[in-house]
Amino acid sequence: MQEQFGIRVNSKIELKQTLKIEPFDTTKRFTKPHKHNKYFEIVYLSQGSGLHTIDTTAYVIDVPQFFFVKREEVHHWSIDTEPKGFVVIFKDEFIENTKDKEINLLVLELSKINMLNVKNKEDQMVIETIFELLCKETKTNSNINIIEGLLKALLSKITSLNTYDKKGVFGDVSEQFLYFLSESPQNNVSYYANKLCITPQYLNTICKQAFNKSASEVIATYINKEAKRLLLYTAYNVSEIAHLLHFKDASHFGKYFKKNNQITPLNYRKSAVSKPV
């Protein structure tokens, strides 16, 4: 079993695979909190009840429903009744090498959300038909063009159901920024600007365009989430978490966390309870 920052890291895809599509594993009804090994996962449930917790939010399973889990997020299942559905797993290599670059844009669009309900019966039928075809084609090692065509149809259908306020897809530089941030979270705009070979001012401009936030605000959002994950899902003390997140010491981390959450790290750990939404 792998770990990252003391958090279990699971892999449901073989080393040489870059894409996996299959029915939801009905034995995975209760799982321990874990991250994924560098892949993005889409889970569609047509049957089942219970809770799916992603980071600090526990979502009530209300089928038919999609869940979207990014690689840095911690999640776990608590499913009361027998589940049924499908799972799609994308490794970074698949996203980078896909022949149809619109698939990249659709995946990026869906990575902005964690949950989506399917409210229309006709939409549900279309989605499940495409999933069945994808499972059949991937199982028989069909032509990649057929698989990518069906996958694009599925992702386009899901995206069309998403009614949240769309503000465009990340540009190449902002995508790389988020990648570096997930690999090594630290409260330092210049660090990421140097890795991207641009000035801090230009990184700030890019973040304003892509996220409507400054670079420091994007970093703060990510570090705050990572800090909460470590407090909730590991036994690391505050000094160890401060070191992992590249703070000078526990005092600096404590002040930073309290400024963003109006509560100290220790009190957050003691009081944090995931509430169903």
pLDDT value at position 163?
72
pLDDT value at position 169?
41
Q: Could you give the CA distance from residue 166 to residue 266 in angstroms, rounded to a whole number?
A: 36
pLDDT value at position 167?
46
Asked if the model's pLDDT at residue 276 lies above 60, the reply is: no
* Domain 2-161 is found in CATH 2.60.120.280: yes
Taking residues 17-32, report their average pLDDT: 91
Give the list of residues 6+ apart from residue 240 with CB closer than 8 angstroms, or none.
none
Q: Could you give the CA distance from residue 54 to residue 37 in angstroms, rounded to a whole number?
A: 16
pTM of the model: 0.68
7-11, 24-28, 156-160, 235-239: which has the minimum mean pLDDT? 7-11
Q: What is the pLDDT of residues 169-199, one digit of tens each?
A: 445 688 789 888 988 889 999 999 998 878 8
pLDDT value at position 97?
80
pLDDT value at position 168?
45
Q: What is the pLDDT of residues 86-138, one digit of tens each?
A: 999 988 788 778 878 788 878 888 888 899 999 999 999 999 999 999 999 99
Query: Distance of alpha carbon 182 from its chain centroid, rounded?
Result: 11
6-15, 81-90, 184-193, 265-274: which has the minimum mean pLDDT? 6-15
pLDDT value at position 86?
98
Q: What is the pLDDT of residues 194-246, one digit of tens each?
A: 988 788 998 998 898 888 899 999 999 999 999 999 999 999 999 999 999 99
In the chain, what are the domain boundaries?
Answer: 2-161, 172-276
* Domain 172-276 is found in CATH 1.10.10.60: yes
Q: What is the pLDDT of residues 145-169, one digit of tens each?
A: 999 999 999 999 999 998 754 444 4
Of residues 223, 212, 211, the one with CA closest to residue 187 = 223
CB of 12 within 8 A of CB of 89? yes
Give the list of residues 6+ apart from residue 196 with CB closer than 8 angstroms, or none.
173, 176, 177, 180, 203
pLDDT value at position 173?
81
